[in-house]
Amino acid sequence: MHSALALLSLIPLSSAHFLLNWPPARGFDDSTSSNFPCGGFNTVSSNRTTWPATGGPIQLDMHHTQTDVEVLIALGSDPGVNYNIVMRPTFLQQGLGNFCVGMVSVPSGVNITEGMPATIQVVSNGDEAGSGGLYQCADVTLTLTPLSSSDYSSHCANGTGITTQSISNSNVNANETFPSGGATSASGSAAAAKSTGLAPQNTLAAWAIGAVGVVGGLMAL
């Protein structure tokens, strides 16, 4: 946790709440990272990353000991604020450094074509409860061709001690508020659930951690 702006300015690198490293984010600016939908980067990048819609890694760099994470996608070459397709519902992640959200895929009901442009949005909870979310976006070109094992593993690393937990009511936004600013129901708030100790189940959600060795098993999910 780091709410003091003075402290942030002294340690700019470690102050980044989290970074989206692959597919590469449009950019990161600590001062605007809480701006929906893309942390202050509203302009589509000219550099799109080819990303496998049937199951790809999302490589993050975590700077909080505990973070609620959600992964969404918006289809189209310039989707604006239309991040309404959930690829990985909100879950709790713990541990610092590299964290790979594994085998993230576009839901099967969504019609994807080869070469379709899209933008992936990673949302985390803010530093303090009720402060809203933090956002990073990456512009991609969707492909139906899976990554090779070596390409997958080169974009999917986990630091030591990284764990994930499911949240009993994962049907909430990681940012605890909807983009319109309306609050989620109190019972649906991941932060509220954490503070009461009720919701994050003790079950280790192995599905959320990317690892080449378990890709086959993750496909079932």
The DSSP code for 43 is S
Which residues, other chains included, contact 119 with Cβ-Cβ below 8 Å and sequence gap of 6+?
A: 38, 44, 73, 74, 79, 83, 137, 138, 139, 140
Considering beta carbons, is residue 45 or 173 the nearer one to Cu ion?
A: 173
Q: How far is the CB of 7 from Cu ion (least distance, A)?
A: 11
User: Is the CB of 15 or the CB of 82 nearer to Cu ion?
Assistant: 15
Q: Which of 17, 26, 48, 155 binds Cu ion (CB under 5 A)?
A: 17
Report in angstroms how near the CB of residue 18 gets to Cu ion at its nearest: 8
- DSSP H helices, 102-183, are 149-154
For residue 160, what are its two tokens? 């030591």
Q: How many residues bind Cu ion (CB under 5 A)?
A: 2
Nearer to Cu ion, 69 or 218 (CB): 69
Task: Give the shortest CB-68-to-Cu ion separation in angstroms.
Answer: 12
Q: Which stretch binds Cu ion (CB under 5 A): 75-83, 104-112, 124-132, 157-165?
A: 124-132
CB of 45 to Cu ion, least distance (A): 23
Q: Closer to Cu ion at the Cβ: 10 or 110?
A: 10
Q: Which stretch binds Cu ion (CB under 5 A): 50-58, 73-81, 120-128, 164-172?
A: 120-128
CA gap 212, 112 in Å, rounded = 24
Which residues lie across from 100 on neighbouring strands? 59
Using alpha carbons, select from 80, 117, 104, 107 the residue that is nearest to residue 155: 104
For position 127 contacting Cu ion by CB under 5 A, the verdict is yes
C-beta of residue 184 within 8 angstroms of C-beta of residue 172: yes
Min separation Cβ 64 and Cu ion, Å: 6
Q: Which residue is nearest to Cu ion (CB)?
A: 17
By the 10 Å C-beta count (0-12 exposed, 13-18 middle, 19+ buried), 6 is classed as exposed
The residues of the shown chain that bind Cu ion, judged by CB under 5 A, are: 17, 127
